[in-house]
Amino acid sequence: MRKRRRADTCLVLCGLLIWFLADAGRVRAAAAEALALCAQSVIPALFPFMAVSGLLVALGFGEWVSPHLAGLMGPLFRLPGCASSALLLGLVGGYPIGAKTAADLYRDGLLTAEEAERLLAFCNNSNPVFLVSVLGAGVFGDVRAGIWLWLIHVLSVLLTGLCFRGGGKRPARRVPARTFPCRAVSLSSAFVEAVRGAASGMLSVCAFVVLFYVLVSPLKAVGRRWWARWSCSP
């Protein structure tokens, strides 16, 4: 079965290569449009925010804020207070900061495997700048639409956490003196690493945008032809 799936995947990829070669002009045009979209909307909206959020993580923002939210994590989600850092950083910093923070908490023994799995269900989220600037202002042309998307996103995260809150009491554990290792050695090194991480993240985001923009371009062409035929029909 696995060999059959791999063979089917290879056939699909060969078909994509044939399409790229047969319609190279349209593929280049779609890739150019995607790069222009990245340069005009995606990078200006995401890169500064990713750099600043990465700097916050490196300087220990999660360690600083988690004691203030500890009183909410237990009653709401039946998780220890340190889990609030993963939830907040996931909402503020976006992918994959929330998941990485949860993994660090589990690796340091601050969360059990079951708690880490439940936390991962709602701590790895899109950041508000992408929802407000890219989707709201860039796609829908209205900042208020992006704000509503962000509010719906936050509400969905909280409801998901409530659905996965589990039952019973949390097991007792010995809390280490050190929390998860997110503090950098110095501000200068943290700044450099944050900018490098943001640049690497933007490169990955733009690569996916270009690839999927090219793959979706035939569907857009079919949709335009169908709409033109339907609108012209009596």
Round to whole Å and give the CA distance between 141 and 149: 13
203, amino acid identity: L
Q: Which helix (H) or strand (E) holds 166?
A: none
3-state secondary structure of 178: coil
194, amino acid identity: A
Q: How many CB atoms lie within 10 A of CB 172?
A: 6
Sign for the CA dihedral angle at 17, 18, 21, 24 comes to negative
**Which pLDDT score is estimated for 180?**
44
Each residue of 115-146: pLDDT tens digit? 888 888 888 888 777 777 777 777 777 778 88
**Which pLDDT score is estimated for 223?**
52
Q: Which of 59, 72, 45 is nearest to 127 (CA)?
A: 45
State the 10-residue block means of pLDDT for the chain, 234 residues long.
76 79 82 88 76 74 70 81 80 75 77 86 80 74 82 88 69 46 64 84 86 80 53 53
**Which pLDDT score is estimated for 232?**
55
**How do the domains of the chain map onto residue ranges?**
43-195
40, amino acid identity: Q
